[in-house]
Structure formats: C-alpha cells, structure tokens
C-alpha cells in the first residue's frame, strides 16, 4: 500500500488515585466473587475523587505524554478529546486542555462524542489530517478521557472505571504505524446504552449492548476484509474495545469464527492473541473512549519487543452505535520507547478505597458540579510537572482547576 506513514508515536495514561477491589464489591453486593473476577473479568475499578474529573485526567495523561516522549506542546497543531463524560454542553474538554497545557494558538481543538467510539473518531481524524498534508510537520494530540458510572447495585456497577489515555499522532511514528485509508466502519441506530443530558449515570440495556457490540464487530470486520484488510501479514495480536475483560474474549471468539475457525481453536488462540492486552484494563475497569487504547497500551507494555515488526488489529465500538476495525504495524523501536514511557507507572500510586467510602463519594458527587471553588483567579495558572485537580465552580459556574 502506497500510503503516508502515520500513526501513534507515544502513549501515556492517567488514573484516579482510588480504586475499589471487585472481590470486596462482590461481597458487599452478595454476589459470588468469581462472577466479577472471572465472569466479568475485572479485578479493580478506578474511582474518581471529588477533585478528579475528565479534564484533570486528560491534563495529567497529556503532561505525562510530553514528559516521557520528549515531545513539546509547541509541536501540536490539532488537539481532539474523545469523551462521553462532557463537563459542559458547549465548552469542550479540549479547550480546557489547550489552556492548561499551554498548546499553541494556531491549533484546532475540539471534543468528539460518540459513546466509546469518540477516541477512535479523534485518532482516525488526526491520522487523516496528517495524511492529507494539513499538519505541515506538526503533530496531533488525541486524548480519551472518561468516568464510567452506572447506578449503585445495578448489573453495570462492576463494569465501571475511570481514566485517560493520551496519544501523540504524527508522521514516522515510533510505536505503531497505522494503515491509512484501510479501515472497516459500521454504524447502526440502536438504543443499547445512553445517558440523557440530566443524568450522571449511564442507562444501559446490558445484554442487548453485548449483542450490538458483536453485530458491529461482524459488520466492521467484514468491511475491513472487503477493503483489502487481509492483504499482507496475518494479525499477530488484536486489541478490542474492553468494557470488561470477558467482552474482549467473546469478541475474539466471534471474529475468529468468522475466519472459519472452530470455537475451540478460537478460544485456544486467546492466550497468545489477546490476553496481554487485558492486563491493564483488569486493573482499571472501563474507561469508555480510552478502553481500546488502554488495551493497546497494555499489549505494548507487555510485549513490544516480542511483536516488533508484527501487524496487529484494533477494534473500536461505541454504543448507539459506530464501530471500526483497522490495523497497524508495531515499530522496531517501540520496545525502547515503551521502557522510556513507563506506561503502567501511574497505577503504582493508586490506593484501595473500601466500599463504604466509594458509596459516600458517589453520594457527595451528585453535588460536585455546583461545588464553589475557593476564590482564586491565580488558581488557573500554567501547570507544569504537577497534578491537576478540579476545585469547583466560581460564581458564574466556570470550572476552576489548579495544581495539587
């Protein structure tokens, strides 16, 4: 394929400080722990505190990206934030990010929404922006940031999580070269998961959403094969959208059976082709827009050296729904860069919170939008090398951020 060489140059994560252990949550809900640990396939879910929101998670991930990759905010000409946890109906998270990171004035910034597909919408638009020549040597910053919330005690509760994944997208990338123009998209108008404007928690038709995901995977994968996706080397690994680990397992079986494999052969290939991409998602939970890229980060963190030069598949699904299947090749220099990026390091700072404290946080959280910020024009300064926190809103309901 004679296409420009564009892809993901670097990747970084940020997670909230607190997490709930799912064995403890199962006990509190009177559910056998094996259901959450094996049936759902998650061990912990990250919980955002009152001073953590999609903006602070995005800023902290992007700062880490710059610090670790050697790139500079001055390199950025496009900043897209994928989120389904918007903090304002009008002002995008990307605008807050632009200010808090000190991105250049000559920069296109916007927020992309389509449930969990928003991050992929951002990534593939950034790739096309570079391939079209609009970047003129600049890079794109794509950040996926979300807080996944379902009602307490609901069947969706163990599939919550929170976090952000920041990606630097540029020509001649050091991590993953993407196949420009060779993607399989699929869309359908369905009500599998939605969040009305006045709701802080998602509404979901859970089992229907699983079927919609699998139907969309079939449609996107078929389209990818139709546009020549299977030409070239076979896919050594595939990362799927991971609302919870078991969903990726179901997806892999579904896709491999579309290839004519038996169910047994499909399941046997899971350990090699998918398992390493689920290590970090099992520690954080669902991060919605970022979950495919958390899976990619997990794969690279575990296996960048082993899969250098190999082709991998990526599948993104956003309820509602839109999905896309695409592929890329892991760069030979990826392993050295992954060591420098220390992708999983932010997890080391996390602290377990008990179920009672998590429930208290949720009860208080209903009020956070109206929490008055301590009066401080100076709070909103340039934030370098420190952790951004959300303080609350001022008298005109403007959100105020500072450094902890």
Ligand X SMILES: CC(C)(COP(=O)(O)OP(=O)(O)OC[C@H]1O[C@@H](n2cnc3c(N)ncnc32)[C@H](O)[C@@H]1OP(=O)(O)O)[C@@H](O)C(=O)NCCC(=O)NCCS
Q: Which of 13, 61, 147, 204 binds ligand X (CB under 6 A)?
A: 204
Binds ligand X (CB under 6 A): choice among 54, 77, 161, 243: 243
Q: Which residue has the tokens 């108008």?
A: 189
Helix axes 118-131, 291-303, angle to 10 degrees: 70
Q: Does 35 bind ligand X (CB under 6 A)?
A: yes
242 binds ligand X (CB under 6 A): no
Ramachandran class of 54: left when φ > 0, alpha when ψ lies in -120 to 50, beta otherwise: alpha
- Select the residue whose beta carbon is closest to ligand X and give its number: 39
Instruction: Using CB under 6 A, pick the residue from 14, 125, 298, 319 that binds ligand X.
Output: 319
Q: Is 155 in the site for ligand X (CB under 6 A)?
A: yes
Q: Which stretch binds ligand X (CB under 6 A): 31-39, 79-87, 88-96, 375-383?
A: 31-39
Catalytic residues: 84, 116, 241
Smallest separation (angstroms) from ligand X to the CB of 148: 9
User: Is the CB of residue 293 less than 8 Å from the CB of residue 119?
Assistant: yes
Straight-line distance from the first to the last Cα atom of the chain, in angstroms, rounded to the nearest whole number: 48
User: Per-residue string for binding with ligand X, 212-231, x by CB under 6 A?
Assistant: -x------------------
Q: How far is the CB of 111 from ligand X (least distance, A)?
A: 21
159 binds ligand X (CB under 6 A): yes
The CA–CA distances, whole Å, from 332 to 145, 293, 335, 385 equal 29, 20, 7, 30
Query: In the bound complex, what is the minimum distance in angstroms from residue 363's beta carbon to ligand X?
Result: 22
Residue 352 vs residues 19, 47, 151, 355: alpha-carbon distances, Å: 5, 10, 20, 10
Of 209, 190, 226, 191, residue with least CA distance to 325: 226
Residue 266 interacts with ligand X (CB under 6 A)? no
Q: Tokens 């399941």 identify what position?
A: 267
Other residues' Cβ atoms within 10 Å of the Cβ of residue 186 = 20
The tokens for 331 are: 């760069």
Instruction: Tell me how far the alpha carbon of residue 243 is from its chain's centroid.
Output: 10
Specify whether the CB–CB gap between 294 and 287 falls below 8 A.
yes
Q: How far is the CB of 174 from ligand X (least distance, A)?
A: 31
Per this entry, what is the length of the chain?
404
d(CA 307, CA 24): 36
Residue 364 in the binding site for ligand X (CB under 6 A): no
Q: Which window, 8-16, 90-98, 153-161, 171-179, contacts ligand X (CB under 6 A)?
A: 153-161
Which residues, other chains included, contact 31 with Cβ-Cβ below 8 Å and sequence gap of 6+? Answer: none
Q: Does 156 bind ligand X (CB under 6 A)?
A: yes
The residue range among 203-211, 301-309, 324-332, 373-381 that interacts with ligand X, by the rule CB under 6 A, is 203-211
Q: Say whether residue 187 binds ligand X (CB under 6 A).
A: no
Closest CB 163 distance from ligand X, rounded Å = 16
Q: Tell me if 210 contacts ligand X by CB under 6 A.
A: yes
Q: Is 236 in the site for ligand X (CB under 6 A)?
A: no
**Residue 262 binds ligand X, judged by CB under 6 A:** no
Q: Beta strands of 172-221 (E only): which ranges?
A: 176-178, 184-187, 193-194, 203-204
Minimum separation from the CB atom of position 205 to ligand X (A): 8
Check if the beta carbon of residue 25 is closer than 8 Å to that of residue 158.
yes
Residues 85-124 that bind ligand X (CB under 6 A): none
Find the binder of ligand X among 34, 263, 333, 364 (CB under 6 A). Answer: 34
Q: Which is nearer to ligand X, 276 or 316 (CB)?
A: 316
**In terms of CB distance, is 115 or 341 closer to ligand X?**
115
Residues in contact with ligand X by CB under 6 A are 32, 34-35, 38-40, 155-156, 159, 204, 206-207, 209-210, 213, 243-244, 246-247, 319
């Amino acid at each position: 394929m004679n296409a420009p060489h564009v892809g993901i140059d670097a990747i970084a994560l940020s997670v909230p400080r607190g997490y709930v252990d799912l064995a403890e949550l199962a006990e509190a809900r009177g559910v056998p722990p094996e259901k959450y640990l094996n049936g759902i396939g998650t061990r912990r879910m990250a919980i955002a505190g009152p001073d953590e929101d999609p903006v602070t998670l995005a800023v902290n991930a992007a700062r880490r990206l710059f610090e670790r990759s050697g790139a500079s905010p001055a390199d950025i000409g496009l900043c897209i934030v994928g989120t389904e946890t918007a903090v304002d109906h009008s002002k995008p998270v990307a605008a807050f990010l632009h200010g808090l990171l000190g991105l250049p004035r000559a920069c296109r910034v916007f927020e992309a929404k389509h449930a969990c597909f928003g991050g992929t919408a951002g990534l593939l638009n950034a790739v096309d922006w570079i391939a079209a020549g609009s970047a003129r040597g600049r890079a794109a910053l794509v950040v996926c940031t979300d807080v996944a919330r379902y009602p307490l005690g609901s069947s969706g509760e163990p599939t919550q999580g929170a976090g952000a994944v920041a990606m630097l997208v540029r020509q001649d990338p050091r991590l993953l070269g993407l196949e420009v123009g060779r993607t399989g998209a699929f869309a359908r108008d369905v009500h599998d998961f939605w969040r009305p404007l006045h709701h802080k928690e998602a509404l979901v038709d859970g089992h229907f959403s699983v079927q919609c995901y699998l139907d969309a995977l079939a449609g996107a994968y078929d389209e990818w094969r139709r546009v020549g996706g299977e030409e070239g080397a076979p896919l050594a690994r595939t990362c799927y959208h991971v609302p919870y680990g078991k969903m990726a397992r179901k997806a892999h079986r579904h896709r491999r059976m579309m290839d004519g494999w038996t169910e047994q052969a499909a399941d046997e290939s899971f350990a090699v082709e998918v398992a390493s991409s689920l290590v970090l998602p099992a520690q954080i939970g669902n991060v919605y827009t970022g979950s495919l890229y958390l899976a990619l980060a997990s794969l690279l963190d575990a296996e960048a050296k082993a899969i250098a030069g190999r082709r991998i598949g990526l599948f993104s699904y956003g309820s509602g729904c839109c999905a896309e299947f695409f592929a890329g090749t892991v760069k030979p220099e990826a392993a050295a860069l992954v060591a420098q990026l220390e992708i999983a390091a932010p997890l080391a700072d996390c602290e377990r919170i008990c179920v009672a404290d998590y429930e208290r946080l949720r009860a208080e959280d209903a009020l956070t939008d109206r929490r008055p910020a301590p009066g401080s024009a100076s709070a909103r300064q340039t934030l370098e090398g420190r952790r951004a926190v959300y303080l609350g809103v001022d008298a005109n309901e403007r959100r105020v951020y500072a450094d902890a």
